[in-house]
Structure 1
Amino acid sequence: MTTTDPYTQLRADHTAGHLDNIIVALPDLQGRLQGSRLAIPHFLNEAATDGFTACTYLLATDVDMNTGPGYTIDAWNTGFGDFLLKPDPTTYTTLPWDDATALVIADAHWPDGTPVPIAPRHILQTQLNRLATHGLTAHAGTELEFLTFTETYDQAHTAHYHNLRPATRHTIDYALQGTSHLEPMLRRIRREMTTAGLTLETARAEVHPGQYEIVFRYAEAMTTADHTALFKHGAKHIAAQEGHAITFMPKYDEGEGNSCHIHLSLRGTNGEAILADPTAPDGMSHLMRHFIAGQLAALPDFTLLMAPNINSYKRLQPGAFAPTGITWGRDNRTCPIRVIGHGHSLRIEHRVPGGDTNPYLALAATIAAGLHGIENQLPLPAPHTTNALTDPNVPRLPSTLTEALHHWETSELATKTFGDTITTHYAQAARTELAAFERATTDWERQRGFERL
């Protein structure tokens, strides 16, 4: 019996002298790609099949790579041991922005071969497996926004990220002028992401000065999460090479924030569209109605998986043109759950996640919420047809990380859906973020109190 070598192209490119290293990358709690560069012969002879070791703390740190007790992986008290990264050959690609370099995304396993349950990729796969038991698959797309500045990353860091100059002078939403000086960078991002295997659909200027959005075609949900992580990784590299700094943070200043809207639809195992029902007055099947109802029911408890940081909630505030309530609407951008499309393209757009969201966790939460609605046949309330941002009768989303953490920690649904290990681990991640913020003295405090208090 013969098997196809998934790394045939890697062998050929290495032999031809086009590639000399491969990155084995693990998505961490923040959705960032962490890992090591391996010599290609070493990867092909050993790591591709046997895996590659990495320190367990990679899945138990905050954004500053600080770890400590409280996580279910307690690296401090267990000697900073290793787990095994097993590359997924379906994720293999070359990186046009990184000379002579390929990349493959890996899954974390314990030495005995069992998956590490708190790994974001495993959490998403678990929910996809649950979908499969219902004869369903998920397709998703993400819309990522970012702000571009005239400064380099080094200059921005030296300035403590203060008073940076957006790369355009004014609001450029849908503008076809005023962005020509950004085209060298933007063109590289569009072109090189396509070369890396992503399928570009649209790109346009957004509302905030210097803001841009690039949308790639939907794919199977795990592929979309992998592509979203790769896009953020690569876009920052390209921006740095072009002398710009970009940020995906949800709320850089008092202007419009960066979102990561998630479009999601379900298919049957043979690929048929099952959300649409042309005989229904609203065009939606009963399954879709339950799926949306599940989003609304689970949203307070699952918000933490979509908005994981202090800054996430600066975007989810009144007047920020981001959702603040728990409701749904047909083509209503003021609702967190927007239903758009028709027929085969009928889908939900989840508008809660910001540019800092971990795409694996956000997709897992969306799928899990939908399954909650399907399995319990939850009824769907009437759609919201007016501005949900200003309607006082709409139930509110958690408005702070503290509130989201409380919902998550006390949620029977979260524990039932994800298990004690995952709920405890991600609660600690939120507590670590809160503790870091509470120890910091902000510019706002200095400005308010230095002289007048």
Structure 2
Amino acid sequence: MTDTYAWLRAEAGAGRVEEVIVAVPDLQGRLQGSRLAVPYFLEEAARHGFGACVYLLACDVDMGTGPGYAIDAWNTGFGDFLLHPDPATLRALPWDPGTALVLADAAWPGGAPVEVAPRRVLAAQLARLAGRGLTAFAGTELEFLVFRDSYQDAWERRYHGLAPATRHNVDYALQGLSGIEPVVRRIRREMVRAGLRMETARAECHTGQYEIVFRYDEAMATCDNHVFFKDGAKQIAAQEGRALSFMPKFDEGEGNSCHVHLSLRGKDGTPVFADDTVDGGMSQLMRHFVAGQLACLPDFALLMAPNVNSYKRLRPGAFAPTGVSWGRDNRTCPIRVLGSGASLRIEHRVPGGDANPYLAVAAVVAAGLHGIDDRLPLPAPHAANALADPSVPRLPGTLAEALHRWESSELAVKVFGDEVVGHYAQAARAELAAFESAVTDWERVRGFERL
């Protein structure tokens, strides 16, 4: 039998790795876990799993839990599930010498998978694809803002008056990057050292905004790389005395997106989206797949835009999708078809920097399968500015609207199951409850003196 941890044994034997972080992606796409000594990891956790509290997959961004989730931590005594490491995700952390990290899948003590775990939600949709002889390949494009301030300074100032790492719009610029380049250069290089394959990197249009794009891969591997990159980028920034943010809408400027590129291949690895014998070059399967995106966007929006702030980005004038449409190389549409031949793919432009990649990609796959299974017809592409066209059907404009569409969707229950639908509905309710109880700066400015 092949030793799946041969690399780790060799590195530990040479004194280069002393600890392994076992982490599970939570509902927000963050990594939660523990540090284990290498001998303990190899002798126990790698074989039998490692215990972690069940509330890690039933809490909000503040780690608050409660009733309403499919996992009720309070009423079950805050017990453990088991985290089973996936050796394919093991890698060293260049920014944390002597440390490796491995992602894990959550399972109940009896061995059944935790169905609401984000990685499991995606795996279920990929299994449906595999049942049809198809494999999804994906890439995610994460944008983020870099500030000259540290995370500690930003916290103490309540995130007011922060200094962006560039002075003006540097979209595609090769100059004016002196304030941002040291930290993003380190992020680029250390991610490559960790095994990610970088494609491109450039500044974006918001002051201090940057984007690093890594090579596409099989969908699960891409999502694993995504959460690894996001976690590592924040740690590197903190070490450099800088803060960076992936939040979809930090201020009135351009938001942070997470465009998802996706295509399908057959059992033999042949791309199945392209067909040069038909007008437009799109196979019938691809046309159904895109039609499924349009049909499911309102119902599945919650999986791509899971927070109150998500919908501040999806507003008119924000150069982010507001309606349901598709177009050929049209960035004003939520579904952009681009490329040709083997590179023909969709770009899903709804997810923002806060999207959990596993859930967003699962939504894309599930929507595409709905289009394929029901042989949905594809309307004509939108050739003009879809953002300014009042005839284009609207996306949900708020988290409350997205929650309503998700909870009342028969299709969501059919493809994701009652447990998953209810669990992520509760996550949205927790987010809304926290927001609705907060007093904002806008309210103080508006009402402190004048009301």
TM-score, structure 1 normalization? 0.99
Which residue in the other structure is 2:254 paired with? 256
Amino acid at match of 2:449: E
CA distance in 1, matches of 2:156, 2:446: 24
Which residue in the other structure is 2:240 paired with? 242
CA distance in 2, matches of 1:68, 1:156: 30
Post-superposition Cα deviations, 1:343-366, rounded to whole Å, max 9, x if no partner, equal 000000000000000000000000
Post-superposition Cα deviations, 1:132-178, rounded to whole Å, max 9, x if no partner, equal 01110000000000000010000000000111111101001000001
Alignment partner of 1:426 is 2:424? yes
Which residue in the other structure is 1:13 paired with? 11
Post-superposition Cα deviations, 1:392-416, rounded to whole Å, max 9, x if no partner, equal 0000000100000000000000010
Q: Of 295, 299, 302, which residue of structure 2 is paired with 1:304?
A: 302
Post-superposition Cα deviations, 1:326-384, rounded to whole Å, max 9, x if no partner, equal 00000000000000000000000000000000000000000000000000000000000
* Dislocated runs of 4+, deviation >4 Å: none
Amino acid at match of 2:321: P
CA distance in 2, matches of 1:156, 1:183: 20
Residue 183 of structure 1: CA displacement?
Answer: 2.0
Which residue in the other structure is 2:194 paired with? 196
Amino acid at match of 1:53: G
Which residue in the other structure is 1:326 paired with? 324
CA distance in 2, matches of 1:354, 1:16: 42
Which residue in the other structure is 2:156 paired with? 158
CA distance in 1, matches of 2:306, 2:271: 32
Which residue in the other structure is 1:378 paired with? 376
CA distance in 2, matches of 1:283, 1:364: 26
CA distance in 2, matches of 1:117, 1:402: 24
Post-superposition Cα deviations, 1:25-81, rounded to whole Å, max 9, x if no partner, equal 000000001000000000001100100000000000000000001101000111000
Query: What SS does the aligned partner of 2:103 have?
Result: strand
Residue 209 of structure 1: CA displacement?
Answer: 0.3
Q: State whether residues 407 and 425 of structure 2, in contact with CA within 8 Å, keep that contact through their aligned partners in structure 1.
A: yes
Alignment partner of 1:281 is 2:279? yes
Aligned residue pairs: how many? Answer: 451
Query: What SS does the aligned partner of 1:203 have?
Result: strand
Q: Of 47, 61, 64, which residue of structure 2 is paired with 1:63?
A: 61
CA distance in 2, matches of 1:342, 1:137: 19
CA distance in 2, matches of 1:325, 1:405: 17
Which residue in the other structure is 2:446 paired with? 448
Q: State whether residues 148 and 179 of structure 2, in contact with CA within 8 Å, keep that contact through their aligned partners in structure 1.
A: no
Which residue in the other structure is 2:2 paired with? 4
Alignment partner of 1:405 is 2:403? yes
CA distance in 2, matches of 1:280, 1:178: 46
Q: Of 265, 268, 285, which residue of structure 2 is paired with 1:267?
A: 265
Which residue in the other structure is 1:345 paired with? 343
Q: State whether residues 139 and 222 of structure 2, in contact with CA within 8 Å, keep that contact through their aligned partners in structure 1.
A: yes
Which residue in the other structure is 2:169 paired with? 171
Which residue in the other structure is 2:179 paired with? 181
Residue 180 of structure 1: CA displacement?
Answer: 2.6
Which residue in the other structure is 1:95 paired with? 93
Post-superposition Cα deviations, 1:417-449, rounded to whole Å, max 9, x if no partner, equal 101000000000000000000110000000000
Which residue in the other structure is 2:312 paired with? 314
CA RMSD of aligned residues (A): 0.5
Residue 15 of structure 1: CA displacement?
Answer: 1.2
CA distance in 2, matches of 1:349, 1:181: 31
Q: Of 209, 212, 217, which residue of structure 1 is paired with 2:210?
A: 212
Q: State whether residues 258 and 349 of structure 2, in contact with CA within 8 Å, keep that contact through their aligned partners in structure 1.
A: yes
Post-superposition Cα deviations, 1:242-268, rounded to whole Å, max 9, x if no partner, equal 111000000000000000000000000
Amino acid at match of 2:314: L
Residue 184 of structure 1: CA displacement?
Answer: 1.8
Residue 98 of structure 1: CA displacement?
Answer: 1.0
Which residue in the other structure is 1:50 paired with? 48
Q: State whether residues 199 and 213 of structure 2, in contact with CA within 8 Å, keep that contact through their aligned partners in structure 1.
A: yes
Structure 2: 5+ residue runs without aligned partners? none
Amino acid at match of 1:437: F
Q: Of 144, 165, 169, which residue of structure 1 is paired with 2:142?
A: 144
Residue 182 of structure 1: CA displacement?
Answer: 2.2
CA distance in 1, matches of 2:179, 2:230: 21
CA distance in 1, matches of 2:337, 2:53: 42
Amino acid at match of 1:416: K
CA distance in 1, matches of 2:314, 2:181: 30
CA distance in 2, matches of 1:435, 1:197: 40
Query: What SS does the aligned partner of 1:261 have?
Result: strand
Alignment partner of 1:117 is 2:115? yes
CA distance in 2, matches of 1:163, 1:289: 47
% identity of equivalent residues: 71
Post-superposition Cα deviations, 1:83-102, rounded to whole Å, max 9, x if no partner, equal 00000000010000112100
Post-superposition Cα deviations, 1:213-249, rounded to whole Å, max 9, x if no partner, equal 0000000000000000000000000111111100000
Which residue in the other structure is 1:130 paired with? 128
TM-score, structure 2 normalization? 1.00
Query: What SS does the aligned partner of 1:314 have?
Result: helix
CA distance in 2, matches of 1:184, 1:427: 41
Amino acid at match of 2:257: S
Amino acid at match of 1:312: S
